Amino acid sequence: MDTNNPLRFGSGQAVRRLEDEALLAGAGKYTDDVSLPGQAHLIFVRSPYPHARIISVDTTSARDMPGVLGVFSGADLVAAGVQPMPGTAGFKRADGTPGATPDRRVLAHERARFVGEPVAAVVAESVEQARNAAEAVFVDYEELPMAVDMAVATAPGAPVLCEAAPDNISAEMRHGSVDATAEAFAKAAHVVKLDIVNQRVVALTIEPRTVLADFDSATERLTIRMSTQMPSGVRDSVCGAIGLPKDKVRVVVGDVGGGFGMKTGAYPEDIAVAYCAHALRRPVKWVADRSEEFLSSAHGRDVASTAELALAADGKILGLRIASLANVGAYATGTGVAIQLLIGPWVQTSVYDIQTIDFHFKAVLTNTSPTGAYRGAGRPEAIFTMERLMDEAARQTGIDRVALRRRNFIRPEQMPYKNPMNQTYDTGQFEKVMDQGLALADWQGFEARAAQSQREGKVRGLGMATFLEWTGGNVFEERVTVAVKADGIIEVFSAVNAMGQGIATSLAQLAVDTFGVPIEKVRVILGDTDRGDGFGSAGSRSLFTGGSAVRVGAERTIDKARALAAQEFEAAADDVTYANGEFTVAGTDLKLDLFELAGKQPESQIFVDSTSAVAGPTWPNGCHICEIELDAPTGEVSVVAYSSVNDVGRVINPLIVRGQLEGGAVQGIGQALYERVVYDSETGQPVTGSLMDYAAPRADIIGEMFRMEMDESTPCKNNPLGVKGVGELGTIGATPAVVNAVADAFARSGLAANIGRLQMPLSPARVWQATQSA
């Protein structure tokens, strides 16, 4: 490679992340790394009950303790006019009435609805003083009947958790045709049915939620520094709750130690910190401890489904019927409901040519922490269900599982393809991707490896998942600003946000593509609502929307600079060419450096504010194949090989893409084998309240045979880069590939009748129990 060529740092190159040097040197700036003069600290008093009436909150003793600056209850915030959090706008109940949820107050008022819900906030000069005072706040509770389990919450005579939903069904949706699907099942040669649970999990970011709010009396502005994926959304929520105009609130985001969807949007705690800073006219910081994160951050998944597949004698799928209950917790949010009732169903038929469906999804209120976005957000649940059905259909029909998939794939010539949820796939070569996956995993050599495992007293299982996913959040417009400065720097601002995924590096590479300058001349700025608004980073949209916006913005900047250069040259703009940071005039020896041109401008810069949009979502897809070894006497499952081929469109940075795929797969394996949030059904108390009780995946769960490959042969047609979202793909493919491998091991052990008893997480105890006679 030419070391003098700036494009060696452009797209397609494995550029090391620009973010890493500071992080590895301990020079990162997370929210808790920032301390301000006069900074106070906030501690929350949280409900110890899953459901209780708040009789009174006595703050008298706490207010008189050393260092205490303020103690606030839910009643105080209601009296101050602080508004409830948004609910389930746009969704309906079965009778056509609006989706129902209790008002979620920033601090619980009159009723607490889950263990860990904030009831009061104590602000003091130090963390210890705030913690001591929080223990002196006396809350008089009257315990109420509760339900943390969906079966209990939906049973006749269940405690009513919201008056507008006497059946505890917040909202529900039906998709497809009941009659057409019933007809398809009536004429089917084979019907496959499974009860499937996607258990509740914790997002478990390395950096907990952290908020530092500061009120400037001189400007009457509130600046909130925090760990979030969506700074503009948080600002808007704070403004709406507290009653401030948007120009009076700024949200700034530094380094973020993981988000995984859990840090999208505003939490009650965020608004409480902002309110306290505004009320006390001084900086206030809150850093969640790990226990608070387990109790009150948004959990993921928690869906119980009955799924049925109707097939013709030749294996062609005739219809798909699914009924699901989704636990949305004590307060149904628009995001939590949409993920399970709408977004997951968008990909439910996946890569298969299925047009006849009957989906019935209900969002259930329970006395648990609300659920929300977690890596994949509805798509892992949907794909897990579909891929479990496909492997079970192969077993029951006797059709080879590869042949069954091949028979039902949507073909390239059917593109663009509209699925029964009215979603249009622009491109896809699903059979080609599967064939690459089979070769990478040495599918044909499995029997020899299984025989070797048998000689060692283990049962080897082989599982696969072929699938696609939707990305984009259906927010396709992005704004960027580009400033070419006289000091030799091109500064790019984007409203997409970093959260450890390396997006700043990828955006810088795209700027290098267009400007043709060394990457050290590009500075990417993210996370500041004063610099620009945007949706933020969620739904794997950062690169294909944000990156496309950078490409368009950079091209517009060069167009503007070309016109300015033409004026300097006294030439026609069409005769001016640009390459590698320099303008020239055709047929002459005239030259002008880009940064020199910027220095000639009134503000010593060439500035462009650019808004652009992509045409639609992307549909990345893949084939993931897992091999496990099962130790039947103990129930222990070990992942011994994992291979995947992933159609992610054009790859901007192979290192980053591979890291996203690998990290996502590890999280998916974690759900398959280890992770589960548990509430005690008798007391409503969380049993898995810390890392002492919650099993998270570790690096040693993956053996040496862990291969992730990318297929770039099918670029997306909906954005100018041809890229597809990649951040959640690995998670979506991993859970069904692992569980299908365990099911295969059961079948090879003569336990095919027990496969229906396999439910995640496949811990040794659960697997051993499933091996016992039904």
Domain assignments of the chain as residue spans, ordered by start: 6-29+473-613, 34-144+209-287, 300-471+617-771
Percentage of residues of the chain with pLDDT beyond 70: 99
The three-class DSSP label of residue 492 is: strand
- The highest-level CATH class for domain 34-144+209-287 is alpha beta
Q: Could you tell me if 501 and 725 are in contact, meaning their C-beta atoms sit under 8 angstroms apart?
A: no
pTM of the prediction? 0.96
Residue 121 pLDDT > 80: yes
Judge if 6-29+473-613 and 300-471+617-771 fold alike in CATH terms.
yes
| 420-431 per-position pLDDT tens digit | 999 999 999 999
On the question of pLDDT at 4 being above 70, the answer is: no
Tell me the helices (H) and strands (E) count for the chain, helix number first.
21, 28
H-helix or E-strand spanning residue 439: helix 430-440
Residue pLDDT, tens place only, 646-657: 999 999 999 999
Q: Is pLDDT above 90 for 225?
A: yes
Q: Is the dihedral of CA 537, 540, 541, 547 positive or negative?
A: positive
Question: Which tokens belong to 567?
Answer: 């004026």
| CA 769/CA 6 separation, integer angstroms | 59
Q: What angle do CA 345, 347, 352 make, to 5 degrees?
A: 120
* Digit-coded pLDDT (tens) for 346-399: 999 999 999 999 999 999 999 999 999 999 999 999 999 999 999 999 999 999
Q: What is the mean pLDDT of residues 555-576?
A: 96
Give residue-wise pLDDT tens across range 496-530.
999 989 999 999 999 999 999 999 999 999 999 99
Q: Which fold has domain 6-29+473-613?
A: Aldehyde Oxidoreductase; domain 4 (3.30.365)
Residue 723 phi/psi, 5-degree rounding, is -85, 160
Tokens at 620, concatenated: 């990345």
Q: Residue 175's pLDDT is what? A: 98
pLDDT tens for each residue of 478-502: 999 999 999 999 999 999 999 989 9
Q: Which of 549, 384, 404, 362 is nearest to 469 (CA)?
A: 384
For residue 3, name the pLDDT band (cuts at 50, 70, 90): very low
Whole-number mean pLDDT of the chain? Answer: 96
Residue 151's H or E segment, with its range, is: helix 150-153
What confidence category does residue 772 fall into, taking pLDDT thresholds of 50, 70 and 90?
A: confident
Inter-axis angle of helices 654-673 and 729-748, to 10 degrees?
40
How far, in Å, CA of 288 to CA of 271, rounded?
A: 14
Residue 720 CA to residue 544 CA, distance in Å, equals 9
Q: For residues 231 and 224, give the distance between their C-alpha atoms in angstroms, rounded to a whole number.
A: 9
Q: Give the integer Cα–Cα distance in Å for 351 and 431.
A: 9
Of 306, 365, 360, 397, residue with least CA distance to 153: 365
C-alpha separations of 541 from 166, 264, 382, 495, 634 in Å: 38, 13, 20, 12, 43
Structure tokens at 665: 């797969």
- Whether 381 and 303 have beta carbons less than 8 Å apart is answered as yes
State yes or no: pLDDT of 712 exceeds 80: yes
Q: Which residues, at least 6 apart from 687, have a Cβ–Cβ distance to it below 8 Å?
A: 678, 679, 680, 693
pLDDT computed for residue 1 by the predictor:
39
Task: Report the DSSP beta bridge partners of residue 213.
Answer: 224, 284
Q: Could you report the per-residue pLDDT of 758-770, keeping only the tens digit for each?
A: 999 999 999 999 9
Judge whether 492 and 524 are in contact, CB under 8 Å. Answer: yes
Which pLDDT value is given to residue 774?
Answer: 53
Per DSSP, the residues of 239-296 read HHHHT--GGGEEEE----S--TTTTSS--HHHHHHHHHHHHHTS-EEEE--HHHHHHH
CATH assignment of 300-471+617-771, among 3.90.1010.10, 3.30.365.10, 3.40.640.10, 1.10.260.40: 3.30.365.10
CA atoms within 13 Å, Cβ hemisphere of 664: 28
